[in-house]
Structure 1
Amino acid sequence: MSGIDDAEVDPRKVRSRARLLDAAAVLLQDGGLEAVTIERVTKSSKVAKTTLYRHFDNVMQLRAATIERMLPPVLETPPEGPLRERLISLLQRQADAIRDTPLQVSTLAWLATGSDRTTGNPAVTSLSQRIIDQYRVPFDQVLNTPEAHRQLGEFDTFFVLSQLVGPLVFSKLIGLRPSTPQDCARIVDDFLAARAMAPSVP
């Protein structure tokens, strides 16, 4: 993406970039990803097209930056403590993030990174890494501990994430009520009970 370093030190470029992304975010929420075009964003933001191209090389970079800006902050890893409490705390934070993020934004983020992983586009790479940080890294830090391996035995992190976060995402997708702290505790307890009963894999 062009112009990022300059934008960080030039207040005028900071303002123009913010106006472009504000306009793009409104268009995305109202009309979806295809509504975010160079023409519509420049018209809505009243920022010249030449200025837009100082920040973004193409519409894909603009769309990726817009989605990334609308994602919630990266989750913090819970402090040291028993595995159960750390997983419940992390799942509650994840439930809050899922609840507060518009479904359209979450869906578009996954679709955008999934369809363009191999393009080499720096903006898409940045968005993909942001999503990994948001959803995966905190769990890795909790699960990659001696206590977790003692309690859970051998495990595949992909399936652990599916079992823990899957119910939260499913609830959001089909429009059920937001997941509560009690729901998160039940999910973790069911997961830990199932792991305790699982036969060891040779």
Structure 2
Amino acid sequence: MSVRPDTAPRPASPREEDPRRVRSRARLLDAATTLLATGGADAVTIEAVTATAGVARATLYRHFANGTELVAAAFARLLPPAPPVPAQGDLRTRLVELLTAQARIIEEAPTPLTAMCWMGMGPGLRDLTSDGEEHARPELQSLREVLVERYRSSFDKVLATPEAREELGDFDYDLALIQLLGPIVFNSLATLPPLDRRACESLVDDFLAARRARRNGRPPRRNG
């Protein structure tokens, strides 16, 4: 008797994971994330995670090569979404809106800032390839890469555009991000009062003035 096509057994796709494996990884990440949020990176030990998750150590090592990789995955899980990118307005308006939103995220969610300080433990981006197992498993990627993908992408939509290049000329993109975000990160590290919109406007205005002065062949004016 022939088997109807819609009821014939199908071989499992190689991409389909064992549900038990999915559940055990989720339990491990739940435990690591809770420990990280309540006790910091030092609390995320192999012993503490396996005990909290009720998962064997051997199972943990099937998902994560070591404790550093586990902490990185937990950090990445706690990162809030990237700030929205304003769809309208000139370059100044869009940068002010984006920087104000980014400042609010950093001030209200200390975990990303902690991650920014901790991420130097991971490998450099240039050591990561675009294919192979390391790319297929997010936990093997550097936390630095996760941050770049999530937060830099918002600034790409404002700064890495023909309009921005036309107005600002050629500029060092990485340095521009440091100039804009550096004061916000330092402000949070120093536990100073949160930066408001007016402060973000000043940061953007100083950045734009310096870029326009350099493009016109004039050194930026200095106060004093």
- Measured against the shorter chain, the TM-score band is 0.7 to 0.9
How many residues end up aligned between the 2 structures?
194
Q: Deviations over 1:67-86 (max 9, x none)?
A: 11111223343314311111
Q: Distance in 2 between matches of 1:133 and 1:100?
A: 20
After superposition, residues 25-36 of structure 1 pair within 5 angstroms as 25-36=33-44
Please state which structure has a larger fraction of its residues in helix.
1
Give yes or no for contact 1:112–1:124 (8 Å, CA) kept in 2.
no
Name the amino acid aligned to 1:96.
Answer: R
After superposition, residues 8-157 of structure 1 pair within 5 angstroms as 10=19, 13-102=21-110, 103-108=113-118, 110-113=119-122, 118=127, 122=134, 123-125=139-141, 127-157=143-173
Find the counterpart in structure 2 of residue 6 from structure 1: 17
Task: Determine what percentage of the aligned residue pairs are the same residue.
Answer: 45
- Larger displacement relative to structure 2 (95-104 or 116-125): 116-125
- Please state how far the C-alpha of 1:5 moved relative to its aligned partner: 5.6
What's the TM-score once normalised by structure 2's chain length? Answer: 0.73
Q: Distance in 1 between matches of 2:45 and 2:126?
A: 21
Find the counterpart in structure 2 of residue 193 from structure 1: 209
Name the amino acid aligned to 1:68.
Answer: A
Change (3 A) 1:37 1:78: same
Structure 1 runs (4+) deviating above 6 angstroms are none
Q: Distance in 2 between matches of 1:76 and 1:114?
A: 28
Change (3 A) 1:175 1:39: same
Structure 1, unpaired ranges of 5+: none
Q: Distance in 2 between matches of 1:114 and 1:59?
A: 15
The structure whose RCO (Cα within 8 Å, separation 6+) is larger is 1
- Please state how far the C-alpha of 1:183 moved relative to its aligned partner: 1.6
Name the amino acid aligned to 1:104.
Answer: T
Q: Secondary structure at the match of 1:164?
A: helix
Give yes or no for contact 1:21–1:65 (8 Å, CA) kept in 2.
yes
Find the counterpart in structure 1 of residue 177 from structure 2: 161
Give yes or no for contact 2:116–2:144 (8 Å, CA) kept in 1.
no
Larger Rg: 2
Change (3 A) 1:186 1:70: same
- Larger displacement relative to structure 2 (71-80 or 148-157): 71-80
Find the counterpart in structure 1 of residue 196 from structure 2: 180
Name the amino acid aligned to 1:166.
Answer: G
Q: Deviations over 1:47-89 (max 9, x none)?
A: 2324323432332321221111111223343314311111112
- Please state how far the C-alpha of 1:32 moved relative to its aligned partner: 3.8
- Please state how far the C-alpha of 1:162 moved relative to its aligned partner: 1.4
Q: Distance in 2 between matches of 1:93 and 1:15?
A: 35
Q: Secondary structure at the match of 1:6?
A: coil
- Please state how far the C-alpha of 1:31 moved relative to its aligned partner: 4.5
- Please state how far the C-alpha of 1:166 moved relative to its aligned partner: 0.9
Name the amino acid aligned to 1:156.
Answer: D
